[in-house]
């Protein structure tokens, strides 16, 4: 059972890149595979982030021009 | 055994390259498919290779595309633009990995003069003038950064600036320049940089890089599984996965990563100066034996020569029997040989592990053939 908030990213490359960026700002992100129904085309990588950090993480990734979508659970 | 064929592939490879290839077979899964520990270990290896390459060549990691070699990269870059109108410009030193796909495109191919016997700013000015005289209607310019038969280097930054100013796509073959010369995709206005992993980057054979400049998007060359967006009928929109269908050669990329780290630690400048010094030494020794060396100035670690009365293959065969590896013939670059006025020659190409004593031994052995 996971308790983090999730962001879907384009691929594992962007997941690792995002994880590195967030780590620089003290945000721990875990790379996960998303359920096929969680994204339009299925089979995606996501970042699991503590809910308290999700807004800040989204801002940092947007600034770094990494595309992501928030997964609603 | 003396190995003087580093332009074909560098040998030996640093021990950490060899270990990395074996380690990744033993400890990694398939990158970019699952998120379990073995898959992520693999994905991290690939990403770190992209990062190392991006730092070396002034790009960003996601724009470093893994290929099977420079030929693959060049074919991807050149055929991606088959739909573009306009002619293709190439230099008169191009390897068949540029010449053949350019001709196969069906477009008109024009050849600009690299003015081999000029140097420095004189050569740059002459090259730009030649390009300018041929550029009307040209949409793509492809050039080697350094020749594989004579080590002549081209002014990549100036050519890149010209192409950017005139709206031409600029593709660079850095097969002999990567890991030796300062090439920066962003600063030099390069749209696509193509190079193998196994020459100046000291990685294993079977992998290479295609590095995209900012804002460059190509249609995918191969279509297949990408590990993401499986329900989409098309390849992903974004690099690098857009250009990497199928499973990547992780063991080779692990090796390539360690090769790039090795080159960065030694520094390209140190490696190049070492090779040039050996080339100067060899050139002096050959000229002392009255052997014809092509081009007077050593711009790299490549020396090309012929011995009167002997075919180049005969010389290479003799040297092989003496325990010395060289390459003879046309080196897959007939255009370059035509430009040099050669019908085939013996190429000696140095690497970081070659020594001055090996050059002296080469000279002694060669004397046995023709004296």
Minimum Cα–Cα distance from A39: chain B residue: B229
Helix (H) or strand (E) holding B258: helix B250-266
Cβ contacts of B240 on chain A, cutoff 8 Å: 11, 13
In whole angstroms, give the CA distance from residue B181 to residue B267: 10
Backbone φ and ψ for B209, nearest 5 degrees, come out as -130, 145
Strand-pair partners of A71: A6
Find the CB nearest A31 among B40, B229, B240: B40
Residue A1 confidence (pLDDT) above 50? no
B61 reaches A (C-beta below 8 A): yes
Tell me if A17 and B61 make a contact (CB, 8 A cut-off): yes
Residue B237 in contact with partner chain A when CB distance is under 8 A: yes
Domains and their CATH numbers in chain B:
15-266 (3.40.640.10), 267-370 (3.90.1150.10)
> Residue A67 and residue B238: Cβ atoms within 8 Å?
yes
Output the six-digit token pair for B110. Answer: 């024009």
What is the count of structural domains for chain A?
Answer: 1
For B146, the enclosing helix (H) or strand (E) is none
For B139-166, write each residue's pLDDT tens digit. 999 999 999 999 899 999 999 999 999 9
DSSP string for residues in B88-143: EEEETT--HHHHHHHHHT-S-EEEE---TT--HHHHHHHHHHHHHHH-TTEEEEEE
CATH code at position A52: 3.30.70.260
pLDDT in tens, B83-121: 778 899 999 999 999 999 999 999 999 999 999 999 999
Which percentage of chain A shows pLDDT scores above 90? 73
For A9, nearest residue in chain B (alpha carbons): B228
Least confident of A59-63, B50-54, B61-65, B233-237: B233-237
Shortest distance, CA A67 to any CA of chain B (angstroms): 10
Nearest CB to B241 within list A11, A32, A41: A11
To which H or E segment does residue A14 belong?
helix A12-24
**What ipTM was reported for this prediction?**
0.90
The secondary element (H helix, E strand) that includes residue B324 is strand B324-325
Which has more confidence, B84 or B201?
B201
Residue A34 sits in which domain range?
5-71
- What is the spatial distance between Cα B236 and Cα B240, in angstroms, rounded to a whole number? 9
Q: Which two tokens stand for residue B295?
A: 């081009």
Interface test with chain B among A6, A9, A13, by most B beta carbons within 10 Å: A13
The answer to whether residue B60 scores a pLDDT higher than 60 is yes
CA dihedral B249, B77, B34, B23 (to 10 degrees): 20
pLDDT single digits (tens) B168-182: 999 999 999 999 999
Give the percent of chain B with pLDDT over 70.
100
Q: Could A11 and B40 be called an inter-chain contact, meaning their C-beta atoms sit closer than 8 Å?
A: no
- Given a cut of 90, is residue B298 above it in pLDDT? no
């Amino acid at each position: 059972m996971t308790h983090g908030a999730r962001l879907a990213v384009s691929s594992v490359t962007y997941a690792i890149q995002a994880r590195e960026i967030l780590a620089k700002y003290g945000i721990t992100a875990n790379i996960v595979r998303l359920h096929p129904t969680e994204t339009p085309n299925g089979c995606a990588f996501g970042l699991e982030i503590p809910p308290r950090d999700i807004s800040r993480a989204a801002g940092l990734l947007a600034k770094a021009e990494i595309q992501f979508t928030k997964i609603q659970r | 055994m003396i190995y003087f064929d580093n332009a074909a592939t560098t040998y030996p490879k640093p021990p950490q390259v060899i270990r990395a290839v074996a380690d990744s077979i033993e400890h990694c899964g398939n990158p970019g498919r699952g998120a379990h520990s073995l898959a992520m270990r693999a994905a991290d290896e690939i990403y770190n290779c992209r990062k190392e390459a991006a730092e070396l060549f002034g790009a960003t990691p996601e724009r470093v595309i893994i290929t099977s070699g420079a030929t693959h990269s060049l074919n991807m870059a050149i055929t991606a633009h088959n739909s573009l109108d306009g002619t293709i410009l190439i230099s008169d030193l191009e390897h068949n990995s540029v010449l053949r796909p350019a001709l196969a495109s069906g477009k008109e191919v024009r050849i600009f003069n690299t003015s081999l016997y000029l140097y420095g700013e004189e050569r740059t000015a002459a090259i730009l003038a030649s390009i300018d005289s041929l550029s009307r209607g040209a949409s793509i310019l492809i050039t080697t950064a350094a020749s594989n038969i004579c080590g002549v280097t081209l002014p990549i930054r100036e050519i890149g600036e010209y192409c950017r100013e005139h709206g031409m796509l600029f593709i660079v073959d850095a097969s002999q320049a990567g890991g030796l010369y300062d090439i920066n995709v962003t600063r030099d206005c390069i749209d696509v940089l193509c190079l193998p992993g196994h020459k100046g980057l000291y990685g294993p054979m079977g992998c290479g890089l295609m590095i995209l400049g900012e804002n460059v998007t190509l249609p995918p060359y191969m279509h297949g599984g990408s590990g993401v967006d499986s329900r989409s009928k098309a390849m992903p929109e974004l690099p690098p996965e857009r250009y990497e269908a199928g499973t990547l050669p992780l063991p080779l990329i692990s090796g390539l990563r360690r090769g790039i780290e090795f080159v960065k630690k030694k520094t390209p400048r140190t490696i190049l100066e070492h090779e040039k010094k050996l080339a100067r030494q060899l050139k002096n020794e050959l000229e002392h034996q009255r052997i014809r060396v092509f081009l007077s100035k050593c711009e790299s670690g490549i020396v090309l020569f012929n011995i009167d009365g002997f075919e180049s293959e005969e010389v290479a065969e003799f040297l092989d029997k003496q325990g010395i590896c060289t390459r003879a013939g046309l080196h897959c670059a007939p255009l370059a040989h035509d430009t040099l006025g050669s019908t085939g020659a013996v190429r000696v190409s140095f690497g970081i592990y070659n020594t001055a004593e090996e050059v002296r031994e080469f000279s002694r052995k060669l004397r046995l053939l023709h004296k």
